[in-house]
Structure 1
Amino acid sequence: MTFNRVVSIVTMTAAMFSSGYAYAAPAFSADQLCKAGLALAIDKQPRGIKTAGTSGQRILLALKNGKNDWDYRCTVNRQNRTLKIDARDLKRNDKYLAQAIRYRVNEGKRSVEVTMKKRAGGGLKNDTFTTLQLD
C-alpha cells in the first residue's frame, strides 16, 4: 500500500511540474514594464510610447511623435523588481531619471504599479497601468 502511495505522489508531482502552472510565463513582458516605467518618469501616457527594438538585455523605447529611432533605453531587473532607464539625449539624463524605478505586478487585477521618488521635495509618486494600456 505504501509503494502505491509513493508512486501516486511521484506521478502527481511530475504532472504538476510538467504542466504550465510551475513555469508560467511572466504576466508582463519587459517591453510593457519599460513602457510603464517611462510613462511614470516623463509624465506621459503609455500609448504615446513605442518599443523601437532591443539591444542585448536593453529595451529601446521611442516617443511616437519623436524623430529619433529610439529615445530611451530600459533594463529590467526581475529579481529586484526594478527598472533602469537612461535617455539618448544627455541633457535628459539627470539624477531624477537615473534612479531605479520599482514595479509591483498585481496578478489578480492584471495590472502593474510603478513607483519612483518625486523630482522636487520628498515622497514617492506612483501610477498603475493595466495590460490593455501597455499593449
Structure 2
Amino acid sequence: MISLPAELRHALDTMMSGHREQDLVRSTGELTARYRRPATEPALRSTTDVAAYAATRMPATYAAVTAALTQAAASMPDYQPTTQLDVGGGTGAAIWAATTLWPGLRQVTVVERDPAVIAFGRGLAAAAHHAAVRHAT
C-alpha cells in the first residue's frame, strides 16, 4: 500500500484541525453524491468541501499517481525530469508523488482554477521538504 509522505500527512492533519469532524463527514457524503451526478456546477462549494476532498481523495490520488509514475520510471530508468506541469492539479498530489520519485525536479507548475483548492494546496506545499513543491507556481 502506498502511503502519503510523513510531511504531507502531517500538513494535511494540521490543515484539517480547523474543521469540525461532523462537517467534514457531511461534506464528504455530499461530495460523493455530487460526483455521481452530471456536473452542472463546481463540486467543491466551500472550504470544508476542499478539506474533505483533500482528506478523502488526495491519499488515493497520490497512491494512483505514484503507482503510474513508478511504472514509467521503471520503463525509462535514465529519464530524470527537472520540470513538471500538472493541469487540473487540485491540492497537489501529483507533484508530491513526482518529487518523491524524481528528487531532481527543480520546478513544478500546477494549473488549478479553484482559488480555495489552490490555497489549500499551497498550505500543504509550505510543509514540503522538497523545494520544488514548496515553491510550486
**Would you tell me which structure has more strand in proportion to its own residues?**
1
Could you state the TM-score of these two structures normalised by the residue count of structure 1? 0.23
Specify the structure having the higher radius of gyration (Cα). Answer: 1
**Would you tell me which structure has more helix in proportion to its own residues?**
2
Could you state the TM-score of these two structures normalised by the residue count of structure 2? 0.23
User: Larger relative contact order (C-alpha < 8 A, sep ≥ 6)?
Assistant: 2
